[in-house]
Structure 1
Amino acid sequence: MRYTQLLQYALTKPKTIYALVLFMVLTSLAMMPKLTIDTDPENMLSHSNTDRVFHNQVKSQFNMPDMIVVGIVSPTSIYQPKTLAILTQLSNDILNIEGVISQDLLSLSVVDNISQQANGGIRFEYLMKQAPTTQAASQAIAQAIKRLPMLDNTLVSGDNKAAAIYVPITSKDLSYPVAEKIRALSQQYANSELDFHITGLPIAEDQFGYEMFVQMGVAAPLAGCAIFALLWFFFRNIPLIIAPMAVAMATVITIMGALIGLGFTVHIMSSMIAIFLMPIAVVDSVHILSEFADRYKAGDDVNTVLNKVMSHLYTPMLYTSITSAVGFYSLLLTPIPPVKVFGAFIGTGILLAFALTVIYLPVYISRLSPKALINLQIAVAKMEQKGRLASLLQGLGAIASQKTKTILTLFTLLLIFSILGISKIEINDNPVNWFKADHEIRVADKVLNQHFAGTYDAWLVFKRATEQSSQVKAQFVALVKQASAANIETSTITALIDKAQKNKNNSLFNQELLIALDDMAFSSTSEQQVYIDNMVQFAEQQNATQKLFLQPEMLNWLAKLQQAMNATELIGKSNGLSDIVRTVNRELHSGDDSDFVIPASSNGVAQTLLQYQSSHRPQDLWHFVTKDYQQSLLWLQMTSGDNQHTSAVVDWVNQYLASNPAPADIEVAWAGKSYLNIVWQDAMVNGMLNSLLSSFVIVFLMMVALFRSFKYGVMAMLPLTFTISMIYGLIGWLGKAYDMPIAVLSALTLGLSIDFAIHFLQRVRELERETQSLTTALTLMFEEPSRAISRNAIVIAVGFTPLLLSPLVPYITVGFFLASIMMVSAIVTLVLLPALLIRFNRSAKKVSAA
């Protein structure tokens, strides 16, 4: 069915149209209770992403739960009986909070002091099972901390003015409720001189989710109110402007209902769908209302006028909607799942808004009373005749037509300036920086990272290369064949060999093989025993060799890596297996620093670890090494979670490993939240670039098809090109980091900036055909058409301004830059395109005259 037929049907069946829209809205509202919030940056990566899979494997293998960092800061020293009593009580209270993993909580009151016994040997006792009552006892704790590298500058700051409690949680989704309970517990000490802070990436991300939910419920209604007030200012007719507001509300409710109903979570990206669609959904309505008010006169048949208006505006509105949708659909090309969801639903929302606008809006206007329509025509006529906007646009049109060389020179210089700014853009992000500088999360982050080695962490994982040499395997296979020739049943051993060959990540010489060989010994004869002993001896030797992180050479290499790393300014400190081994070894011997070394033999290393497992927290060992001693984890503490900072750490480690290879064949990999942020940020940058380039080409081809002219297709893309360049150039010159909200602006700019150029060029061509004069067409263009374009730019810009009131930086960033994009793209369209049209026209006349 052609649109004219559809319009005629809608105008004759208004109740049917109203009923369909109402049904769509009510169905979508029924989906809203299923809403779930997700702000985990980990979900910026697909579940199958290699780095994400490895990160979760590391969390499981080394039992590394997500942690909230609670800091207690004293104006003097933390080692005061009263302060330590508060720390002890708060730690005990936190242990009783549901969702806290009590056995892994780190606090002075639950960790061990490692020291020598008076009669020799080693002693593990609680460092502070009960708070000290004297200053001397407090200082004894201070002295003990300085001797424990795993605790120094982790649980107590290097300046002794702050203590930390690391609170492990069963799920990162519990970060906010657990943090709220801790905040409530700390209020009982409000009269003390201590300051309490809570930070860490899990709480930053989860609290952002809570405040994002609040913001979503505040910003969208504020945007609606701002747009409603602006439409009233333009048209001074409340019954009429209810129509575009109804279109916007129906679009937002339907799209959000569909997103929730289809099972998608509301991520930081999709939380902005409502605020994006609200202003975008009314822009076509502004064009229709402006032209309807311009054409309608008292006594006219409303349906006839509507048919003329819609036949005139349908094609450019269709193309602007499609190109805007393409800009957002291009986000489907990115490898970031939440960005894909955002792009898909915004693109669909734009097309839905277009459909509602060209069907519902004419129906609504046709049902208005003649008095309301006359009031609209009078209000708009007065505003356009006497308004400042009309005078400003006429002056702008005169400048654009007369100062063509100056304008083109100026835009060329602006483009060069913008390109230089783009070259200065740096990629960086940090979820903590999603809050304003005075937010409690940001304040806590700043204070605690000034005192401690760092509240941000990354995990450097070392793994013994699993592939045994073919020669070693061949030797064992030969032993198995000898046993088989001696009538020993070796099918179980052969199956384990086949299993190891199929799965190269599994070692052949593991505990399973040793148990199988031990079982064979029970059923063997004395003559057969010699063959089994040969296999057992060979397997045990290889199994011992595989326990890489019991070997002194490897642990010494790790210790040197830590020492070199700690000497840089990139990390606050590192914690690893070598710290445990050296500490226990010191106390097993003299207790002097001279014995703070790795034992000379594997048996000596094993002895220190066996001693450590008799402590009150033996499970802490397995945070740093797997039970087969084939993998080890180095916990790095950093004072910054910025991507650039973490990238610098990764680069430094890569350079060190290249210059100082390990004494054995190992694999090295990264995990941890700070590292995952690098991964998804890089994926977003590359994905956004690909989506921008591909959608740019698609939109250009659409413009050539729309105007049936290569020249006009190029001209339609110029305002978009200049707007993207100028906005990103501004970002570079301002020193604003390229983060998540900035990354999506390219697609948003492409999706929105092209609209004005389409309306401008389409109308200029029509006016030029009617008047047979480009000059006259441009003069007329700066009447009603330019006012409609300007109103659209203002409506969209104002629609995004409520985001500036948000306490969340991504919302502020998007609000500011999108409002800027709308204004810049409108100005570029109204200034650059007339200048280009005149220059092209003069060039064409010169060619014709020649």
Structure 2
Amino acid sequence: MKAWVINFSLNHAKRVYLLMAIVSLGLAAFIPTIQIDTDPENMLPDDQPDRVFHNQVKQEFALHDAIVVGMVNDESIYNTDSLSAIHQLSNKILTIDGVVNPDVMSLSVVDNIEQTGEGSIRFEYMMKNPPSSESEAAEIQQNVADLPLLLDTLVSGDGKAASIYVPIKDKNESYRISQAIQQHIDALNTDDQFHITGLPVAEDTFGYEMFVQMGISAPLAAAVIFLLLLFFFRNLTIVIAPMIIAMATVLSTMGLLIACGFKVHIMSSMIAIFLMPIAVVDSVHVMSEFADRFKPGADVKQVVKDVISHLFRPMLFTSITSTAGFASLALTPIPPVQIFGVFVGFGILLAFIWTILFMPAYISRMSEKQLKALQAKLHGDQQSLIARFIPKLGLFSTSWSKAIVIAFMTVLAFSIVGIEKIQINDNPVRWFKQDHRIRIADRVLNDHFAGTYDAFLVLSHTKGTAYATELLQRLTDVTEQLEDSSLKSKLTTLLNNTSEQTFNASEFIAVIDDAFFAEEPVAAEAVDAGLLEQAMSLLEQYQSETQYFTQPETLQYMASLQQALNKSGVVGKSNSVVDLVKTVNRELFSGEQKDFVLPDSQAGVAQTLLQYQSSHRPQDLWHMVNPSYSRAVVWLQLTSGDNQDMLTVMDTVDAFTKQNPLPEGMSLKWAGKTYINVVWQDAMVSGMLDSLISAFIVVFIMMVILFRSIIFGLMAMLPLSLTITFIYGLIGWVGKDYDMPIAVLSALTLGLSVDFAIHFIDRTRSIYAKTGDFYKTIQLMFEEPGRAITRNAIVIAIGFTPLLFAPLVPYITVGIFLATIMTVSALVTLLMLPAIFNLGKSKFFPKQQDNQNNEFK
């Protein structure tokens, strides 16, 4: 098979070119249909339980993702100009398509609640019109201070900042809507500072900038790699070949991903920049060995055939092991990571195929003049810095073998300690640089307000569903006993459209009430009054018992839980139906702080809720409780979206419920974007660990098969093991959070670190099989093979440097750590392996009696 492929490439070059063009351009044709996805929620499968519950809660309580617009005045926002700007901007926001107008929260559209007499309250817009005097502005300030639901949410406690919460219908429209808001801000005639933040806009903005970055980083990486190869090989003609392979690989892989219907996530956006340097690795080995073997007058095709035949096996295995490293990501429970791993793996194999097909065809068709020029240039490589340095490195590795091994073991111990310091943490807002407008807005607004990050603690009463099932059956029995009438028809329709989950006793009570108090009473023969009274009694009993979150003792438990959360140091503020009931209760009585308490009866609670529903925003109540009052939400405002802070909040709740057990029948679960980020991070870490272990075992087995030796298989895994340990130890020591890009680097480390070892061990054994002399073998190894490994390490490391100039932190992280991975793995390969071989040369390389023996013996 190998011989057929090589002969086909050498003898049918035009067909190879045509095949490459058809595949590459055919798949690249799908790239214009690209769709971007940066929603971290999609890091979890659609049917993942936490995600399913999160979306159920959003639907049940009509909760929408929101953009947070903040205005800051260094003195006070309570002045006519600032408040007028807020009013004007709020009105403009209401005109933007995609905004959920009824739920917009701003001083101009929320209610002020105040007493009009004992037992009577009034709901008026807090700022229906902007104030015309400073005294009116001061009155607004006092009114806000009296409303805990607004203070530190819509206006900061220090009075220097105000916010507008802009709920949106589709979080994928966040960037567009935020840009529209910014245009309205730019049109305002005010000196106040404005900021726009919130997880939805951060994520969607990242998507926009990620798309831009894809178009910048990949071409820059290609340019850097091209210049490096030109510097190493000093011949434009031959350097064009690996660049063609890299471009064909990237275009084909990205085109296939898009053609398969996958959206480009933050993970898959890095495929192009990952593949660009990796795709030229095999080509560099081919060019290096060709330069070493080719002499003027030699048969070009025969030299190419010898080079490819010699390199075919190690290139195949390095490609397969790299593919295994990335493909192992398919074992993670994170869909975007699975897609990233599978397609990078595909790209690596495709690059190998193009290399063994295209490189022989291309080189063999170079003119005699080009080959002479190439030879003249490449012979000059003997005087290059790399050519002078590499033999010295080989001499150093054998002269100081014990010291090198001790040094690496010390680094290993240092790294293991660092690994124990790793902290798992992520936050989509921190995907931007410190000076990015999103980061600045996040920092400023969270300094002023209770927090722009949301988490929802959902409390449920489990008795309701079972009770509803029983009651629905009894109501069905009662309805069937009624004589035919419009009432029976209405009840039957209501029953047919009601389930245990959607049961609302008030709807049935209203229908029966209408029958009792109709202007034309229903004839006795048409309605059995006894049956209706029985049904009404059952419904009222159900309503009393299952409207769990109108019971004072339940609300008191919630109040205590909120108090514990507010003291946690991480929660800026908590909001729930408790705060609403206390506020309305205060205004129903004295309007003074002493009455800012929960009513002592269920009827009293019901009265406050009934009063609130006469406000301009009655729907706000259903953001806190469901209509059956069997489930309630505590809205937590956090000043940080870091996973570690969310975990602290969860630990606070766990500690509280341990000391104060949940009332019988009550359960709690988490929802909200900040919580979902914790879930997928945890899934990714455990998934990455599983995939890494699995891939490590697979690669080791492949190494044993390749070298037909367990001991050489172990040696091949040594650079990989030391590199992974060092990289993650370094992360722990420098305090870099273990986040999404860091987690993915484990696959890259596994895939690339073993490549150098394969080539080094394979070439060492091959040379030793011919020389039978260990020191002569090492001397030869640190010529062309050593130069090729060094060139590849430099090409890959520097090929990622364009990422360092990206405005997005994940790209910068990948660039820095990839350069580190390449440097460490190359050093371990070129220093550690020859040092160990030298110390155990009698074991690794016993004196051969027959130098013609199989090199993989």
TM-score by length of 2: 0.94
Change beyond 3 A, Cα 1:524–1:428: farther
Tell me the distance in 2 between the aligned counterparts of 1:341 and 1:476.
Answer: 47
Amino acid at match of 2:42: N
Contact 1:433 1:442 in 2 (8 A): yes
Tell me the distance in 2 between the aligned counterparts of 1:434 and 1:474.
Answer: 51
65-74 or 594-603, which deviates more: 594-603
By how many angstroms is 1:632 displaced? 0.8
Determine helix, strand or coil for the equivalent of 1:123: strand
By how many angstroms is 1:563 displaced? 2.0
Change beyond 3 A, Cα 1:300–1:188: same
Q: Which residue of 1 aligns with 2:769?
A: 769
Tell me the distance in 1 between the aligned counterparts of 2:710 and 2:745.
Answer: 27
Contact 2:171 2:204 in 1 (8 A): yes
Tell me the distance in 2 between the aligned counterparts of 1:566 and 1:461.
Answer: 17
Q: Which residue of 2 aligns with 1:688?
A: 688
Q: Which residue of 2 aligns with 1:833?
A: 833
By how many angstroms is 1:752 displaced? 0.7
Amino acid at match of 1:206: D
Amino acid at match of 2:179: E
Change beyond 3 A, Cα 1:234–1:473: closer
Q: Which residue of 2 aligns with 1:800?
A: 800
724-733 or 839-848, which deviates more: 839-848
By how many angstroms is 1:544 displaced? 2.2
Q: Which residue of 1 aligns with 2:417?
A: 420
Q: Is 1:140 the counterpart of 2:139 in the alignment?
A: yes
Contact 1:434 1:809 in 2 (8 A): yes
Q: Which residue of 2 aligns with 1:408?
A: 405
796-805 or 175-184, which deviates more: 175-184
Q: Aligned to 1:463, which of 449, 460, 464?
A: 460
Tell me the distance in 1 between the aligned counterparts of 2:818 and 2:48.
Answer: 31
Tell me the distance in 2 between the aligned counterparts of 1:34 and 1:846.
Answer: 59
Q: Deviations over 1:445-468 (max 9, x none)?
A: 101111110111101111111467
Q: Deviations over 1:86-131 (max 9, x none)?
A: 1111111111111111111111111111001158611111111111
Q: Which residue of 1 aligns with 2:130?
A: 131
Change beyond 3 A, Cα 1:714–1:520: farther
Change beyond 3 A, Cα 1:128–1:840: same
Kindly tell me the number of residue pairs found equivalent between the two proteins.
841
TM-score by length of 1: 0.94
Contact 1:552 1:602 in 2 (8 A): yes
Contact 2:503 2:628 in 1 (8 A): no
Contact 1:294 1:377 in 2 (8 A): no
By how many angstroms is 1:186 displaced? 1.6
Amino acid at match of 1:211: E
Contact 1:509 1:539 in 2 (8 A): no
Tell me the distance in 1 between the aligned counterparts of 2:769 and 2:523.
Answer: 102
Amino acid at match of 2:615: S
Q: Which residue of 1 aligns with 2:116?
A: 117
TM-align CA RMSD: 2.8
Tell me the distance in 2 between the aligned counterparts of 1:488 and 1:606.
Answer: 35
Q: Which residue of 1 aligns with 2:317?
A: 319
Amino acid at match of 1:704: V
Change beyond 3 A, Cα 1:468–1:451: closer
Contact 2:118 2:588 in 1 (8 A): no
Change beyond 3 A, Cα 1:527–1:33: closer
Q: Is 1:571 the counterpart of 2:571 in the alignment?
A: yes
The answer for unaligned runs of 5 or more in structure 2 is: 517-521, 849-857
Q: Which residue of 2 aligns with 1:22?
A: 21
By how many angstroms is 1:6 displaced? 1.9
Q: Deviations over 1:200-247 (max 9, x none)?
A: 101110000011001000000000000000010011111111110000
Q: Aligned to 1:365, which of 350, 363, 366?
A: 363
Q: Aligned to 1:390, which of 387, 392, 404?
A: 387
Q: Deviations over 1:717-768 (max 9, x none)?
A: 0000000000111100000000000011111100111000000000000111
Change beyond 3 A, Cα 1:845–1:201: closer
Q: Aligned to 1:298, which of 293, 296, 319?
A: 296
Amino acid at match of 2:10: L
Amino acid at match of 1:188: A
573-582 or 348-357, which deviates more: 573-582
307-316 or 839-848, which deviates more: 839-848
Determine helix, strand or coil for the equivalent of 1:438: coil
Q: Which residue of 1 aligns with 2:815?
A: 815
Determine helix, strand or coil for the equivalent of 2:273: helix
Change beyond 3 A, Cα 1:259–1:71: same
**Matched ranges for 1:250-329 at <5 A:** 250-329=248-327
Amino acid at match of 2:281: V
Change beyond 3 A, Cα 1:368–1:563: same
Amino acid at match of 1:453: A
753-762 or 560-569, which deviates more: 560-569
Contact 1:554 1:664 in 2 (8 A): no
Q: Percent identity?
A: 53
Contact 2:484 2:526 in 1 (8 A): no
Q: Which residue of 1 aligns with 2:854?
A: none
Change beyond 3 A, Cα 1:291–1:493: same
Change beyond 3 A, Cα 1:259–1:481: closer
Q: Aligned to 2:222, which of 224, 234, 238?
A: 224
Determine helix, strand or coil for the equivalent of 2:426: coil
Contact 2:328 2:747 in 1 (8 A): yes
Q: Which residue of 1 aligns with 2:666?
A: 666
By how many angstroms is 1:496 displaced? 11
Q: Deviations over 1:795-846 (max 9, x none)?
A: 1111111100101000000010011101110010000110111222245799
Contact 1:480 1:535 in 2 (8 A): no
Q: Which residue of 2 aligns with 1:214?
A: 212
By how many angstroms is 1:474 displaced? 8.2
Tell me the distance in 2 between the aligned counterparts of 1:645 and 1:486.
Answer: 58
Contact 1:422 1:729 in 2 (8 A): yes
By how many angstroms is 1:520 displaced? 12
Change beyond 3 A, Cα 1:678–1:774: same
Q: Which residue of 2 aligns with 1:50?
A: 49
Change beyond 3 A, Cα 1:88–1:494: closer
By how many angstroms is 1:483 displaced? 11
Amino acid at match of 1:272: M
Q: Which residue of 2 aligns with 1:78?
A: 77
By how many angstroms is 1:193 displaced? 3.1
Tell me the distance in 2 between the aligned counterparts of 1:132 and 1:528.
Answer: 60
Amino acid at match of 1:455: T
Q: Is 1:649 the counterpart of 2:649 in the alignment?
A: yes
